[in-house]
Structure 1
Amino acid sequence: MTYVGQSTSAAHQQETTPATVKDVIAAYVGLTKPRVIELLLLTTVPVMFFAARGIPALGLVVATVVGGTFSAGSASVFNCVYDRDIDEQMRRTRRRALPRHIVSPRSALVFGFALGILSTVILYVWVNPLSALLSVSANAFYVFGYTMWLKRRTTQNIVWGGLAGCFPALIGWTAVTGQLSWVPVILFAVVFFWTPPHTWALALRYREDYANVDVPMLPVVAPAAEVGRQIVIYSWVMVATSLLLWPVAGTGLVYPIAAAVLGAVFLLEAHRMWGRTKGTESLTEIQPMRLFHSSNLYLSLLFVAVALDPLLTR
């Protein structure tokens, strides 16, 4: 198979070169999208610390992390199987395992189901049924709601599809408490409003890829200035929502100070990018990846503050 921007001889060499055991293992790991899993766990474990008002039981943390990792990995595998047709055509994804034919779609499906079943058993037996149910719900919504329904049909794909990535905050809380409350719902909402700025910045960088495969991400169908405006709106709502945790959960001063400082820095970066979009469509001038990397840092440090607050304000 010949890939976009790739010579026929290079494609032939890629297809005929036998994969080593190391290649196959790396391919299966790659199907789970480890970097996505890192972000999901980052919004799970700190919430467990916050729910426990200290350090949660190590065994519970391990079971939640392993179960959550398998669940998120399962959803990612199914996503890779369904999207393998467009992954072959996009620069960002064409070196994934399925486009390179290192793993067959059937083998990937078996792998995805195995991870999903294991995750459900682990969470149900060693955590609690509610956390297991939330995990299965997130997995199902990501696969059926986002991947199969929303992604290729609407510019709001990532807005509503991003709901699946918000569930780890709920799972972390219920793993410790066994029930839901407004506290994890607020953190759920923070991730919900964080997802569009994060994803649209990346989609702006790869808008030609999405356009070539007819995926209507907002940067494909709207001018860069409109994307920047939407990013700023969601960023303001995200920061405002993050500050709600202080009065609702009765945190110490560590969290609200961190949330305010991190929010101010993120808003500054969002406004700067919006300003760079006015009058130009040049990605070199807009620099969307600056905001993308800033969004990762923002979420990481915010949830670190969630974990540290109960430890530093006893």
Structure 2
Amino acid sequence: MSDATANAAATATGSEPGEAQFGDYVALMKPRVMSLVVFTALVGLLVAPGGVPPMIGFTAILFIALGAGASGALNMWFDADIDAVMQRTARRPVPAGKVQAGEALSLGLWMSAISVTMLGLATNWFAAGLLAFTIFFYAVIYTIWLKRLTPQNIVIGGAAGAFPPMIGWAVVTGGVSLESLLMFGLIFMWTPPHFWALALFMKSDYHKAKVPMLTVTHGRAETRRQIFFYTLPLLPVAIGAAFTSIGGPVYLAVALVLNLLFLKGAWAIWRREETAAEADGYAVEKRFFRFSLYYLFLHFGALLVEAALRPYGLGGW
């Protein structure tokens, strides 16, 4: 994405290019996405066996967060043209003309190099390699390749958001285990229903941007069906973590309730008529989307509770 294209995008949105403020550079790193990355990586680190000294743990999370910010900056560099025509993203720093595309690219590349190198030096190179692969996957495999190519973009690309707990686990253990794979699988299988619910009430944005989201290529009815059928394999992955070393009765109880509600919501979306959805402003779909955020947070929160109880002989089985 060239600076000229970014400036043209800013003109198209009615924004005048101006001097960037500190907040614009923060926004470039997608702080809401970064917060999810930090939280799930922190859980992966804290539930891993053995643990690390607090300063090492803090340093690891800091550089994982920096890597997430690098991914966000690279994504905004490349996607400035489509961000400019989507209502949800038009005011992002690059399409709004606050940050030049070249600046976003440079910042993203520098933060990538610093975060990976420093994580490797502070912890281990396996964790650093996972972080490097995550940045590459999000910036290249998802943003540059899949996003504009296939309606399966969010299915495959969702892996980028699923790696952080594996990185946190690897910081402590230096490797991968069933537990870290299940945490990965929970986010990976959650991502399609979560984003397709958003796409149901944001279809016009993706259509204008010519992004082949499932709602655009196959219609809302098929998207509703896919939300339900992707929810089915999510359930055993989410509940299965209860029976590993990081699970226990607290997590099991939380997972059973959350997954029952998630399945009920996915079923309601599948069986819902489009005319009814339009009439009430997609209220059911919006509720499901919001609940999906709590769904993921509470699963990982329950894992933290189990880890906190375990030293007192109360967590786990």
Aligned to 1:294: 291
Q: Which amino acid aligns with 2:282?
A: I
Aligned to 1:179: 175
Q: CA deviation at 1:238?
A: 1.1
Scaled by the length of structure 2, the TM-score of the pair is 0.89
Q: Unaligned 5+ residue runs, structure 1?
A: none
| SS of residue in 2 equivalent to 1:97 | coil
Give the RMSD, CA atoms, in angstroms. 2.1
| Mapped partners of 2:35, 2:260: distance in 1 | 24
Q: Percent identity of the aligned residues?
A: 34
Q: Is the 8 A contact 1:223 1:281 kept in 2?
A: no
Q: 1:221 to 1:196 in 2, by over 3 A?
A: same
Q: Which deviates further from its counterpart, 194-203 or 248-257?
A: 248-257
Report 1:24-35 matches (<5 A).
Answer: 24-35=21-32
**Equivalent residue for 1:165, pick from 161, 167, 174:** 161
Partner deviation per Cα, 1:152-181 (whole Å, 9 max, x = no partner): 110100000111111102101111111111
Q: Is the 8 A contact 2:246 2:303 kept in 1?
A: no
Q: Is the 8 A contact 2:179 2:246 kept in 1?
A: no
| SS of residue in 2 equivalent to 1:282 | helix
| Mapped partners of 2:276, 2:102: distance in 1 | 45
Q: Is the 8 A contact 2:67 2:116 kept in 1?
A: yes
Q: Which deviates further from its counterpart, 217-226 or 277-286?
A: 277-286
Aligned to 1:156: 152
Q: Is the 8 A contact 1:75 1:143 kept in 2?
A: yes
1:119 and 2:121 are equivalent in the alignment = no
| SS of residue in 1 equivalent to 2:272 | helix
Q: Is the 8 A contact 1:51 1:176 kept in 2?
A: yes
Q: Which amino acid aligns with 1:189?
A: G
| Mapped partners of 1:192, 1:121: distance in 2 | 26
Aligned to 2:16: 15
Q: 1:223 to 1:109 in 2, by over 3 A?
A: closer
Q: 1:237 to 1:283 in 2, by over 3 A?
A: farther
How many residues in Structure 1 have an aligned counterpart in Structure 2? 303
Q: CA deviation at 1:233?
A: 1.4
| Mapped partners of 1:312, 1:229: distance in 2 | 39
| SS of residue in 2 equivalent to 1:52 | coil
Q: CA deviation at 1:57?
A: 2.9
Q: Which deviates further from its counterpart, 133-142 or 304-313?
A: 304-313
Report 1:1-314 matches (<5 A).
Answer: 11=14, 14-15=15-16, 18-19=18-19, 24-52=21-49, 56-249=52-245, 251-277=247-273, 280=276, 282=278, 284-287=280-283, 288-313=285-310, 314=313
Q: CA deviation at 1:280?
A: 4.9
**Over 6 Å off, 4+ runs:** 2-6
Aligned to 2:3: none
Q: Is the 8 A contact 1:201 1:291 kept in 2?
A: yes
Q: Is the 8 A contact 1:73 1:112 kept in 2?
A: yes
Q: Is the 8 A contact 2:9 2:95 kept in 1?
A: no
Q: 1:283 to 1:130 in 2, by over 3 A?
A: farther
Partner deviation per Cα, 1:123-152 (whole Å, 9 max, x = no partner): 111121111000000110111111111101
Q: Which deviates further from its counterpart, 23-32 or 240-249?
A: 240-249
| Mapped partners of 2:221, 2:96: distance in 1 | 36
| Mapped partners of 1:119, 1:2: distance in 2 | 30
Q: Which amino acid aligns with 2:241?
A: L
Q: Which deviates further from its counterpart, 175-184 or 269-278?
A: 269-278
Q: Which amino acid aligns with 1:48?
A: L
